[in-house]
Structure 1
Amino acid sequence: MASSYRRRTQRYDSQKSLNRRFLFVLHLCIILTFIGFALFLIFARHIELNISYNGRLGMAAIMIIYAITRFIRSWQKFKEVD
């Protein structure tokens, strides 16, 4: 009986707050938006932009790298123990 109570309390203690989970999901949405816009810059050749194709590739690469670093930082923050 005490063992099941201990497991239950450990599970509830290890759960993240609703605010932290919401912010993590919000960060994921922003990261997906960055990646989507970067892919748009790479593959949308018919859109007239005053940027050369190499410039668009460079900007897309920077956005993808930023999205990856942002994901790593938000994942580490989400996983840290209070």
Structure 2
Amino acid sequence: MFKDNKSQYKKQKSPQQRFLFVFGIVFFLMYLALGLIIIFWKTIPLNISYNGRLAFGLLLIVYAFIRFIRLLKKNKE
């Protein structure tokens, strides 16, 4: 009849933790966008071949997702 109230009363995160979480999401989006820009922007002023741009863009995208996964794991604690 009565549910466990522990889930209702989780300890609220401190303002610093919330700020760092939002900051982490912003940087995840920035790395993701930068990777996509490097891959798909044809007239980007970088003197790199297409294969080099593709490799660098994919590296940034993978790094963005690694940061995001670490951020989610840290936020669960």
Instruction: Give unmatched runs, 5+ long, in structure 2.
Output: none
The total of aligned residue pairs comes to 74
Give the SS at the match of 1:77: helix
Secondary structure of the structure 1 residue equivalent to 2:47: coil
Give me the identity figure in percent. 46
Flag structure 1 segments of 5+ consecutive residues without an equivalent: none
TM-score where L is the length of structure 1: 0.79
Greater share of helix: 1
Q: Is the 8 A contact 2:38 2:44 kept in 1?
A: no
Q: Which residue of 2 aligns with 1:51?
A: 48
Rg larger for: 1
- Structure-2-length-normalised TM-score: 0.84
Q: Deviations over 1:3-56 (max 9, x none)?
A: 9xxx5xx62x42211111110000000110001111110111112311001000
